[in-house]
Amino acid sequence: MNWPHVIEIITPAWRRLVIRSVAARPLATLIRSSLQTDGPAYQSLAESIRRLIADGRLLDGTRLPSERELTTALGVSRTTVAAAYARLREQGYLLSRRGAGSVVQLPGNRVSAGPLSPEPSADVIDLSIAAPPAVPGLAALYESALQRLPLAAQGSGYAPWGLGELRQAIADRYVQRGLPTEPEQILVTSGALSAMSVVFHALAGPGDRVMVESPTYPNALAAVRASGARPVGVLGVSERLDPDAVELTLRQQSPGLAYLILDFHNPTGALADEPTRARLARATARQRCQVIADESLVELDLATPDERPIVAYGAYDRTSIAVGSLSKAVWGGLRIGWIRVPPRDLTAVRRTLLSLELGAATLEQLVAVEAFSRFDVLVAERRASQRASRDALVTALHDLRPDWGFTVPRGGTSLWCNLPAPRGSELCQAAFEHGVRLAPGASFGVDGGLESWVRIPYTLPPDTLRTAVERLGTAWDSMIGRPARAAEPPALIA
């Protein structure tokens, strides 16, 4: 009997859980990479699997190999594996049914959406929003836009696809980034989140699967769910997208859509290299999965100032849809984003857009036109200040918390920090008591988990970031001596 048939004859709750599986050999490799050798063998094995679950490398609902298969792959005794599985069951990390295998579950680790209480005072450093303040000169952009307003105001003010001049400027930027684009393919929205919501509503239906990275941008997960679709996480390591894991997920889950952040990922900061993009394009085409590339952070390249712009993913995959935004490059308060749609999907996406919004505000679109007219200068300034903040945060962490691991990203807005113990949500709670609001790794996981991680943005000035790291260090030291307890994430994470 193959696995799907087994699922059919067991309970609905069980069926909800079982959505993916991991084979014995890859699991053995993951286990060996994190195995501690002290203590009884079964305890080390259980602890290693528990850490893989807490880190989000094994997702909620993943079926583990049978005891016999894992015994062979690891070359240990059957008793060791049986005892390790039994321990994980006791701890609530595994659910086993006779004849149907063992499935990972997260004990009481569903992330709830309530706000942190009490409300933060003015002294709280807010690291839950990874967005910089407006570029210098924003007021001048508004003044220039105001001068054009009387002419624009002669029309009705309704331009649901966006002002022609702005659509042209956005299309021109795609051309600079190696992707021929007509202004007709651009639909202006009020921000990238609106843009992706339109796309999910247009192209995904109830019950459809949308492949996402885990971790990923939490509001995108909410947007997928709001369309009725179900996000399915790519298995694998939590720091960068693994093309092998993508291929496996495509084969196992057959998602019709994939939502990916390939450019300075939020929260990891990772940039997908060219071979990865090319492989993604081939793999998704093979499995008839359409990619929605979120390019909100693409302009925040902190490499060298004269670096050429990053080639748009659409240049590798002509069927993909892109969503973009001025929120990170210019200012989040503008609320200007867009969708770049391949011709075959234009009608469906336009129709859906009209059911959800009637276009972005005219004055802000005029400001965006002004911003594009001096984009290189604005982006250079943005990159310089982001670079200074990133470097200050890296130095502060190296000085004050050398045991917190991270890869310094080439761009984006945040460091994805690996803590010495899987207590990220608790750290965020303790940090709040010490005057820092922070987003736990669990908020970025498709099914929670990721308890060994926190996202630390570098969108505040260098001195503030150093103070924040000092407070985070005190918070960590204050909680690490006491037993683990449950904690709630902030209500809004951006």
Q: Does 296 bind ligand PLP (CB under 6 A)?
A: yes
Report which of 423, 369, 159, 200 is spatially closest to residue 294, judged by C-alpha positions. 200
Q: Does 332 bind ligand PLP (CB under 6 A)?
A: yes
**Number of residues in contact with ligand PLP, rule: CB under 6 A?**
16
Minimum separation from the CB atom of position 56 to ligand PLP (A): 18
Partners of residue 417 on adjacent β-strands:
454
Q: Does 494 bind ligand PLP (CB under 6 A)?
A: yes
Interacting residue with ligand PLP among 192, 210, 321, 438 (CB under 6 A): 192
Q: Which residue stretch of 56-64, 73-81, 185-193, 395-403 sits at the interface with ligand PLP (rule: CB under 6 A)?
A: 185-193
* Calpha distance 53→91 (Å, rounded): 12
* Calpha distance 138→8 (Å, rounded): 59
Count of positions (residues) in the chain: 494
Site for ligand PLP in 346-375 (CB under 6 A): none
Q: Please, are residues 147 and 377 in contact by the beta-carbon 8 Å criterion?
A: no
Nearer to ligand PLP, 103 or 428 (CB): 428
Q: Does 386 bind ligand PLP (CB under 6 A)?
A: no
Q: Please, are residues 488 and 116 in contact by the beta-carbon 8 Å criterion?
A: yes
Cβ burial of 99 (10 Å; 0-12, 13-18, 19+) is exposed
Q: Does 294 bind ligand PLP (CB under 6 A)?
A: yes
Q: Which amino acid is at 370?
A: E
Using CA atoms, how far residue 385 sits from 300, 380, 398, 410, in Å, is: 11, 9, 20, 14
> Residues 468-487: x/- map of binding to ligand PLP (CB under 6 A)?
--------------------
Interacting residue with ligand PLP among 193, 212, 223, 393 (CB under 6 A): 193
Q: Please, are residues 216 and 268 in contact by the beta-carbon 8 Å criterion?
A: no
Minimum separation from the CB atom of position 283 to ligand PLP (A): 22
Interacting residue with ligand PLP among 105, 287, 325, 386 (CB under 6 A): 325
Minimum separation from the CB atom of position 128 to ligand PLP (A): 11
Q: Which residue stretch of 79-87, 189-197, 306-314, 461-469 sits at the interface with ligand PLP (rule: CB under 6 A)?
A: 189-197
Interacting residue with ligand PLP among 161, 174, 217, 416 (CB under 6 A): 217
Q: Does 409 bind ligand PLP (CB under 6 A)?
A: no
Site for ligand PLP in 2-21 (CB under 6 A): none
Q: Which residue stretch of 98-106, 294-302, 361-369, 390-398 sits at the interface with ligand PLP (rule: CB under 6 A)?
A: 294-302
Q: Does 414 bind ligand PLP (CB under 6 A)?
A: no
Q: Is the dihedral of CA 371, 376, 379, 385 positive or negative?
A: negative
Minimum separation from the CB atom of position 266 to ligand PLP (A): 4
Rounded to 5 degrees, φ, ψ at 18 are -85, 100
Interacting residue with ligand PLP among 266, 362, 429, 459 (CB under 6 A): 266
Chain centre to alpha carbon of residue 26: 24
Minimum separation from the CB atom of position 45 to ligand PLP (A): 37
Q: Which amino acid is at 163?
A: L
Q: Which amino acid is at 153?
A: A
Nearer to ligand PLP, 50 or 335 (CB): 335
Q: Which residue stretch of 101-109, 186-194, 382-390, 392-400 sits at the interface with ligand PLP (rule: CB under 6 A)?
A: 186-194
Angle (CA) 227 228 229, round 5°: 95
Angle (CA) 81 87 90, round 5°: 145
Q: Does 135 bind ligand PLP (CB under 6 A)?
A: no
What three-state secondary structure class fits 147? helix
Q: Is the dihedral of CA 266, 270, 274, 278 positive or negative?
A: negative
Report residue 105 as tokens: 């579950």
Q: Which residues bind ligand PLP (CB under 6 A)?
A: 130-131, 191-193, 217, 261, 266, 294, 296-297, 325, 327, 332, 337, 494
